[in-house]
C-alpha cells in the first residue's frame, strides 16, 4: 500500500483506485462491455521516458462474425497521466480474441479504426481485394502495438495487472466503470489494395509534359513537386503508392492509398501515433539493386570467379542489407526514430514489406533466398536488342513478339519469387519501347504481379508524367475488366517450370565479371554455360510455341511445386 500511495503522490490530478492485493486472481473472468482499464507506462530502457505516459483500454460489445464471438475494444494513449488530457490517438478493433486475455495467440482483425483528435481525422482501414480489416504492416503489429498481458500478471476484474506495450511495461491503476459504447459515425473508410501497388519512385514530376530527345546528347528534365491537384489526378488514374515529403503527406494520408515518408522534416513523423495508420507503409520503398551494386564494386568484380560465388554473395548481400538499419534496411525507420529520441525498450520496429528494385532480373531467386520480400524489374523492354541477345546463344534469329519478350522476363520474376511466397513486379523506364509499355503493365497484372511502378528522373531513364498517368489508367481499366483472384489465395498452376542447377543464373548480358569465363568463350566453363543457356532458351521457346505458361527457376533441392511439369536443364556435355 505504501507503494500505491507513492504512485498516487507522483501523479497529480489523477484519481487512483488501489485494489487490495488479496483480491488478485488469475485470468478467468471475462470483462464486461464498458469496463475501462487504466495503465501507466514503465520504461524498459535506462530511465528514458516512454513514448506514451498512460494507456486506457476500454471494452466494447461482443459481436458474432461467421458464427464466432469477436471482441470490440478501444485503446487510448496519452502524453500525460491525467485522464483529462486529450488522447494522442484512439484505436478501435474488432478482434478474434480479447488482446488482454491470457495467452499469446495471434489476433485477427475484422474491423480496424483510428482516431486522431488533434487532426480531427477518424479513419477505418479496409482490405479491398481480400476483405476484412487492413492493419499496419509492421512485423508483429498485434503483439507490439496492442497491449498484451505479461506472462506473470495477476488479474483484477478480468484484466491483467501488468501488460507489455511498445517494448515497455504497463501497470494497472484502475479497472471499473460501465461506459456506453457508441459507433464512430464520422469514420472515413479507406478501401486499400495492397495486392496491386502502382507507384512512382519520386515526389515530383517533369515540367515539360513531353519526351525530350536523348540524341545526340542526353537531356535531363526540369522537375517540380507534386501538388494537391496532381495527387488527385494520380489517385483517379489508379496510382496508389506514393513517396511523399512531410509537406505533401496531408494530401494523401486520409486517401485510399499507401504512402512512404521519413521520420524527420516539418512536420516530423509522430511516434507512435502515425504508425497506427494502416496506409503509412514506412520509410523504405525498395532496396536498391543488390545484384547490380555488387557487380559494380571493384573489390568484388576483380576477385569473384565462379557463378556460385555470385549466387552466394547476392544472397548474403541481400540479407545483410535487408536486415540492417541502414538506408535500405528493414530497421531504417527504427534507427531514424531512435535518433529523434524515441525509446523502443525491447521492441524492434521492422518494416518488412518492400521489394528490391533491380536491373538483373535473372538473380531474383537468390535475392528471395536471401530474405528479400519481392523484386521489381527495371523494365527497358525493346524487341530488337532482345532478339539479338537470344540469337547469340541459340544461333538462330527469332523474331519474338512483345508478349514473348515479356513472358520471358516475367518467367524469372515469378519463378524466382514463387518458391518463397514472395512478390514481383515491373517498373517502366524511359528506355522501354512506348509501344510495349501498355502490354507490359497489363500482362504483368495478368501473370500475378503485385507491383507496377514508373521511374522518375535521370535523363533517358525518366518516364514523363503524362505517360505515367496514361499507363496507370490503362492498367486500372484492364484490371476492372479482368478481375483476378486475390494474391492471398493459392496461385493458379503454371504449365512448366524450367529449372536450372543451383548456383547458376541465366543472363543475356555480358558476364565479364564472372572471371571463370574467358573472353573468347572457348574454355570449358564458357562452353558449359552456353550449353545451359541454349537448353533453357530452347525449353522456353518450346513453351512459347505450344502456348504454355512457364517460369524459370532454380533447383536447389526444395520441392518445385505449383507446376504441371518440371523440365530440368543443365550445361553438361
Give tens-digit pLDDT for 212-266: 999 999 999 999 999 999 999 999 999 999 999 999 999 999 999 999 999 999 9
Burial class (CB in 10 A: 0-12, 13-18, 19+), 185: exposed
Within-domain flag for 573:
no
Could you give the 3-state DSSP secondary structure of residue 535? helix
- Span 450-463, pLDDT tens digits: 999 999 999 999 99
Q: Do you know the residue count of the chain?
A: 573
Q: Which region holds residue 367: left if phi is over 0, alpha if psi is between -120 and 50, else beta? A: alpha
CA distance 271 to 283: 13
H/E element, 430? none
500 and 470 housed in the same domain: no
- Copy the grid coordinates of residue 303: 576477385
- Span 276-289, pLDDT tens digits: 999 999 999 999 99
Instruction: Over range 89-99, report the average pLDDT.
Output: 97
CATH number reported for the structural domain that contains residue 326 in this entry:
3.20.20
Within-domain flag for 346:
yes
CA distance 229 to 463: 20
For β-strands 374-379 and 423-428, DSSP reports them as parallel
| Domain C-terminal end among 471, 489, 507 | 489
66 and 208 housed in the same domain: no
CA distance 235 to 244: 14
Q: Which among 236, 243, 195 is positioned nearest to 456, based on CA atoms?
A: 243
419 and 534 housed in the same domain: no
End-to-end CA distance of the chain: 84
124 and 269 housed in the same domain: no
CA distance 314 to 295: 10
Structural domain including 170 reads 2-188
Within-domain flag for 65:
yes
| Domain C-terminal end among 426, 455, 489 | 489
- Span 146-176, pLDDT tens digits: 999 999 999 999 999 999 999 999 999 999 9
Q: What's residue 10's pLDDT?
A: 35
Within-domain flag for 525:
yes
Could you tell me which residue, 218 or 1, shows the higher pLDDT?
Answer: 218
351 and 424 housed in the same domain: yes
- Going from the C-alpha of 450 to that of each of 237, 465, 471, the distances in angstroms are 17, 21, 16
297: Cβ contacts below 8 Å, ≥ 6 apart:
none
In eight-state DSSP terms, residue 394 is H
Q: What's residue 251's pLDDT?
A: 98
In 19-88, DSSP assigns E strands to 36-42, 54-65, 68-78
Helix axes 524-546, 402-417, angle to 10 degrees: 110
Residue 265 phi, psi dihedral angles, 5° rounding: 95, -175
CA distance 351 to 348: 10
| Domain C-terminal end among 145, 161, 188 | 188
Q: Is the model's pLDDT at 566 over the cut of 60?
A: yes
Q: What's residue 131's pLDDT?
A: 86
- Copy the grid coordinates of residue 482: 479482368
- Span 340-349, pLDDT tens digits: 999 999 999 9
Q: Are 440 and 454 contacting, i.e. CB atoms less than 8 angstroms apart?
A: no
Task: Kindly report the pTM of this predicted structure.
Answer: 0.93
Q: Which among 505, 427, 526, 508 is positioned nearest to 468, based on CA atoms?
A: 427
393 and 529 housed in the same domain: no
Within-domain flag for 59:
yes
281: Cβ contacts below 8 Å, ≥ 6 apart:
137, 241, 258, 259, 260, 351, 353, 354
- Copy the grid coordinates of residue 366: 537468390
465 and 370 housed in the same domain: yes
**For the chain, how many structural domains are there in total?**
3
349 and 371 housed in the same domain: yes
183 and 264 housed in the same domain: no
Q: H/E/C letters for each residue in 334-393?
A: HHHHHHCCCCCCCCCCCCCCCCEEECCHHHHHHHHHCCCCEEEEEECCCHHHHHHHHHHH
561 and 526 housed in the same domain: yes
Task: Calculate the average pLDDT of the chain.
Answer: 94
Q: What's residue 83's pLDDT?
A: 85
307 and 183 housed in the same domain: no
Q: Are 417 and 368 contacting, i.e. CB atoms less than 8 angstroms apart?
A: yes
522 and 477 housed in the same domain: no
Amino acid at each position: 500500500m505504501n507503494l500505491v500511495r507513492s504512485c498516487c503522490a507522483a501523479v497529480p490530478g489523477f484519481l487512483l483506485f488501489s485494489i487490495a492485493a488479496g483480491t488478485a486472481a488469475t485470468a478467468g473472468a471475462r470483462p464486461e462491455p464498458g469496463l475501462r482499464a487504466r495503465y501507466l507506462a514503465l520504461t524498459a530502457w535506462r530511465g528514458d521516458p516512454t513514448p506514451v505516459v498512460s494507456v486506457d483500454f476500454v471494452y466494447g460489445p461482443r459481436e458474432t462474425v461467421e458464427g464466432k464471438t469477436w471482441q470490440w475494444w478501444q485503446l487510448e494513449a496519452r502524453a500525460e497521466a491525467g485522464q483529462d488530457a486529450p488522447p494522442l490517438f484512439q484505436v478501435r478493433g474488432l478482434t478474434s480474441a480479447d488482446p488482454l486475455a491470457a495467452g499469446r495467440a495471434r489476433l485477427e482483425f475484422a474491423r480496424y479504426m483510428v482516431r486522431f483528435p488533434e487532426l480531427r481525422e477518424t479513419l477505418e482501414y479496409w482490405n479491398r481485394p481480400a476483405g476484412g480489416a487492413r492493419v499496419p504492416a509492421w512485423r508483429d503489429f498485434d503483439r507490439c502495438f496492442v497491449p498484451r498481458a505479461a506472462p506473470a500478471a495477476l488479474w483484477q476484474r478480468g484484466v491483467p495487472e501488468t501488460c507489455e506495450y511498445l517494448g515497455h511495461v504497463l501497470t494497472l491503476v484502475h479497472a471499473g466503470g460501465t461506459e456506453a459504447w457508441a459507433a464512430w459515425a464520422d469514420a472515413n473508410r479507406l478501401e486499400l489494395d495492397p495486392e496491386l501497388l502502382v507507384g512512382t519512385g519520386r515526389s515530383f514530376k517533369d515540367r515539360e509534359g513531353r519526351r525530350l530527345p536523348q540524341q545526340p546528347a542526353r537531356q535531363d528534365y526540369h522537375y517540380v513537386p507534386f501538388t494537391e491537384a496532381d495527387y488527385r489526378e494520380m489517385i483517379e488514374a489508379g496510382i496508389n503508392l506514393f513517396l511523399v515529403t512531410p509537406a505533401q503527406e496531408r494530401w494523401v494520408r486520409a486517401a485510399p492509398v499507401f504512402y512512404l515518408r521519413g521520420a524527420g522534416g516539418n512536420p516530423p513523423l509522430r511516434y507512435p501515433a502515425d504508425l497506427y495508420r494502416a496506409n503509412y507503409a514506412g520509410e523504405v520503398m525498395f532496396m536498391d539493386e543488390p545484384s547490380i551494386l555488387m557487380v559494380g564494386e571493384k573489390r568484388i568484380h576483380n576477385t569473384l570467379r565462379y557463378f556460385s560465388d555470385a549466387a552466394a554473395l547476392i544472397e548474403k548481400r541481400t540479407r545483410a542489407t535487408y536486415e540492417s538499419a541502414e538506408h535500405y534496411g528493414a530497421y531504417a525507420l527504427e534507427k531514424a526514430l531512435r535518433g529523434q529520441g524515441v525509446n523502443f525498450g525491447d521492441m524492434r520496429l521492422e518494416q518488412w514489406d518492400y521489394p528490391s528494385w533491380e536491373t538483373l532480373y535473372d538473380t531474383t531467386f537468390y535475392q528471395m533466398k536471401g530474405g528479400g520480400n519481392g523484386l521489381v524489374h527495371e523494365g527497358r523492354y525493346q524487341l530488337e536488342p532482345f532478339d539479338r541477345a537470344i540469337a547469340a546463344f541459340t544461333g538462330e534469329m527469332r523474331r519474338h513478339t512483345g508478349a514473348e519478350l515479356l513472358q520471358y522476363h516475367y518467367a524469372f520474376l515469378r519463378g524466382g519469387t514463387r518458391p518463397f511466397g514472395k512478390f514481383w513486379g515491373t517498373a517502366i523506364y524511359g528506355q522501354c519501347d512506348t509501344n510495349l509499355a501498355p502490354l507490359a503493365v497489363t500482362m504483368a497484372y495478368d501473370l500475378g504481379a503485385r507491383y507496377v511502378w514508373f521511374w522518375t528522373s535521370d535523363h533517358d531513364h525518366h518516364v514523363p508524367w503524362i505517360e505515367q498517368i496514361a499507363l496507370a489508367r490503362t492498367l486500372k481499366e484492364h484490371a476492372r475488366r479482368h478481375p483476378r483472384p486475390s494474391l492471398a489465395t493459392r496461385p493458379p498452376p503454371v504449365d512448366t517450370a524450367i529449372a536450372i542447377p543451383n548456383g547458376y543464373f541465366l543472363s543475356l548480358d555480358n558476364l565479364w565479371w564472372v572471371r571463370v569465363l574467358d573472353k573468347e568463350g572457348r574454355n570449358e566453363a564458357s562452353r558449359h554455360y552456353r550449353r545451359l543457356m541454349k537448353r533453357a532458351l530452347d525449353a522456353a521457346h518450346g513453351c512459347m510455341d505450344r502456348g504454355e505458361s512457364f517460369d524459370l527457376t532454380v533447383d536447389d533441392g526444395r520441392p518445385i511445386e505449383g507446376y504441371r511439369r518440371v523440365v530440368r536443364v543443365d550445361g553438361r556435355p
